A and B are shown apart, each in its own frame.
Chain A
């Protein structure tokens, strides 16, 4: 039951976000969406690193915030410069997101098979 605490955190965060009356101006919607994408990528990266047993809390936390901020800032800079960095960020983070998801799925499958073969081995013995 290792995932209960993070899920509770997610629910609490969603509740806090819905109670906040602050309304984001429509101009910043684009940058906000990129920040959300970047943070989603960071979160899945963190889950992947847990699966691979290489987890580092500091890397995750710093990565989460800096990725989100930098993604938003770079998109803003791109808008100022006339280069649509928005699509580049969406592409980069999207690809990484799916890769992370695929890795997580692989690990789940490997773990499941290992357990099953172990159980079979126990039964056959």
Chain B
């Protein structure tokens, strides 16, 4: 017997036998674990275990659903809060004049004739506020709580002492900047009400007419009012909280 002769075929055959056996073993195990081949007792136990599991899972689903709902509600609350905060922000921006505004309103144009004092402008602005204006600007200067309206006298020739009033040049200034003619006052609000407020008999228009000033009123459907050029900054303001008084 040639030993090398029979080693190789036998090894090959054993290799294939191993493959076949393990495949068959796997297949048979799978087949034996088939539900149809199980004992009734084990099947009952399995059903019980599975139904227990199912009950637990159903409870878990309920619990998770509740959690989800509460989470959704809390996010909705957050959304509402954010919305109200952003609305407040918008309002504050409008009031403080940090954003451009647009809407319907009235423009009042003053040409350079007659004598217009800054007090006339103040009166017009006051009257407009009274008539329900919501935002006012003079020559692209937004009027806020910090706006100043004033005037400067300016002498062109330093050496000649001014004698008459005509020798002075008077400028109306707003926020310390010279106001150029024509002065345009823009007011946002109900244009009819604004116009009526200005043209009341014995009102501001009649007053101005006495000094030969005839402002031009114009109702406009679309008006834009610019934002403040330099919004004010606060360093010394702190919110006041009342001290707790001792009883």
Contact = CB atoms under 8 A, between A and B. Distances in A.
Partners in one complex: yes
Interface of A: 2, 5-18, 20, 22-24, 26, 29, 32-33, 35-36, 39-40, 42-43, 46-47, 50, 53, 55, 57-58, 60-61, 64-65, 68
Of residues B13, B31, B34, which shows the largest number of chain A Cβ atoms within 10 Å of its Cβ?
Answer: B13
The 7 closest A-B pairs by CB, nearest first: A13-B18, A17-B22, A57-B9, A9-B14, A9-B11, A17-B19, A14-B18
B16 interface: yes
Contacts of A22: 23
The number of chain B residues touching the other chain, given as a range, is 20 to 34
Contacts of A10: 14-15, 17-18
Contacts of B15: 9-10, 12-13, 16
Contact of A43 (B3, B14, B24, B28): B14
Interface of B: 1, 3, 5-24, 26-28, 30-31, 34
A22 B22 CA distance: 12
Contacts of A18: 22, 26
Contacts of B31: 26, 29
Contact of A11 (B18, B20, B28): B18
Contact of B13 (A17, A23, A46): A46
A20 B27 contact: no
B83 to A, nearest CB: 56
Contacts, number: 115
Contact of A14 (B3, B13, B21, B27): B21
Question: Most B CB atoms within 10 A — which of A20, A57, A58?
Answer: A57
Contacts of B1: 50, 53, 55
13 contacts: A6-B11, A9-B15, A10-B14, A10-B18, A12-B18, A13-B17, A16-B22, A17-B21, A23-B30, A40-B17, A55-B5, A57-B8, A61-B13
A36 B26 CA distance: 13
A50 B8 CA distance: 13
B198 to A, nearest CB: 91
Nearest to A25: B27
Given A29-B27, A32-B27, A50-B1, A60 B13 contact: yes
A40 B27 CA distance: 18
Contacts of A32: 20, 23-24, 27
Contact of B3 (A2, A20, A24, A42): A2
Contact of B16 (A7, A13, A33, A46): A13
